[in-house]
Amino acid sequence: MQDAEAATPLLQLQPRGGDGVLAKRNSGAKKVALEWWVESKKLWRIVGPAIFQRIALYGINVVSQAFIGHLGDLELAAFSIAATVVAGFNFGFLLGMASALETLCGQAFGAKKYHMLGVYLQRSWIALLLFATALTPTYILMEDLLLLIGQSPDLARLAGKMSVWLLPQHFAVAMLVPLTRYLQSQLKNWVTAVTAGFTLIIHLVVTYLLVHHFKMGIVGAVAAADLSWWLVVLGQFFYVVGGGCPMTWKGFSTEAFADFWEFIKLSSASGVMLCLENWYYKVLVLLTGYLQNAEIAVDALSICLTINGWELMVPLGFLAATGVRVANELGAGRGKGARFAIVVSITTSIVLGFIFWCLILYFNDHFALLFTSSKVVLDAVHKLSVLLAFIVLFNSVQPVLSGVAVGSGWQAVVAYVNVGSYYLVGVPLGVLLGWPLRFGVGGIWSGLIGGTAVQTLILAYLTARCDWDEEAKKASTRMRIWASSK
């Protein structure tokens, strides 16, 4: 008995309730951190190549713009108008139509209905090429349209000339964006990145030769961009039809025409959603053309929007990745997985947006030297740089929320949100600040930023209130209906 008592420790540590709770909290925190790490890897597997591809494709037009900008202020303004008013509008619509493919392919891949991806790709090609043909007159009538809305004759004439040369690029977009969405949905993102990266290098060389060696001027710069876009298309097309996607590409099929009208409706809603979004800031350039010293104002604004557009490739990469991840999780019936993917994507994008916000404020107007050596344009860019920094910060959230809409198939709802936020709030506010209150181009831009803020808040509310388990059930039902359609 004595030996037993001696062997018993005088101070026996007993488990306490607080320690148990703390252990559970630590265990829970580790679990969340692990899940965050796993989701981040899935996200960046799409985001990294998507950002690289978008920067490279955007870089094609940026290289052309940089060469044109050093030819003269009028040439830069004309290219900005042509690429913004007509090409920008049409590109936004076609890009939006292709986001329907992102919804369907992403959910089909998550549901393991792999053969449907190739069918959806062909349906999307047919739909986009039909709409691209219908939009062709806008390029041909560009000069007349600009004169009709009061733009200067010299600017309208040169922009009209450029817009005709942008037609080959227009049809390249109709082929390319479905290919990109199709490949991203099955996580073959390296294909899109490699084709775009190699083409950008070729484009830089070809543009230099056509503009400076062969003295083709603005026509050479635009023609080089057309050639480069088609090189990307051909690279991805031959990869797909040449056996790179054996699970999802079973050859051309008449099944692509089945339920074509339903596909057109979803594609059109998607087109309207992203087109209204894409066109919104194109309106800014158009309105700026009515200010005094419009040529300088348009030049400065186009430089800022080009920098914004280049940085926007990062959140657009998150848009693509969020759309794919949400669609994959919903297609697999995992509503909670979709919600967690959204949280990880938005948080990561905001952190990167804050970094770019700091960089733009620090470097101020130095980036404008890439596009012009005009002192008056550089001064104008300097005045707009703060607004540029804040729109970059806003853009770190808004595109990701649009990606949620794409992955969930909410395109029609978001189209109404975009109309109300952008054109009933942002544009009138921009006009009010720009003219009656005499804040000029900074006022117009500030008003449009206000519209973006309203849209972001509404989309955030819709995302937060969504029942993701119910969305997963809807996705499963949609996949059964579409897969059984012949």
Domain range annotation of the chain: 37-484
Position 85 scores a pLDDT of 66
Position 375 scores a pLDDT of 85
DSSP state of 385: H
Match 């790179």 to its residue by tokens.
244
Q: Closest Cα partner for 389 from 358, 349, 412?
A: 358
Position 12 scores a pLDDT of 45
Position 107 scores a pLDDT of 87
In this structure, which amino acid lies at residue 435? W
Per run of 10 residues, the mean pLDDT along the chain (length 486 residues) is 44 49 69 90 90 89 86 82 73 79 86 90 93 91 86 86 90 94 89 94 95 89 94 96 93 85 78 73 74 77 82 88 90 91 94 92 80 84 88 88 87 84 92 89 89 91 92 79 56
Position 402 scores a pLDDT of 86
How far is the C-alpha of 309 from the C-alpha of 316, rounded, in Å?
A: 10
Position 481 scores a pLDDT of 65
Position 21 scores a pLDDT of 58
Claim: this prediction has a pTM higher than 0.95: no
Conformation bin of residue 259: beta by default, left when phi > 0, alpha when psi is -120 to 50:
left
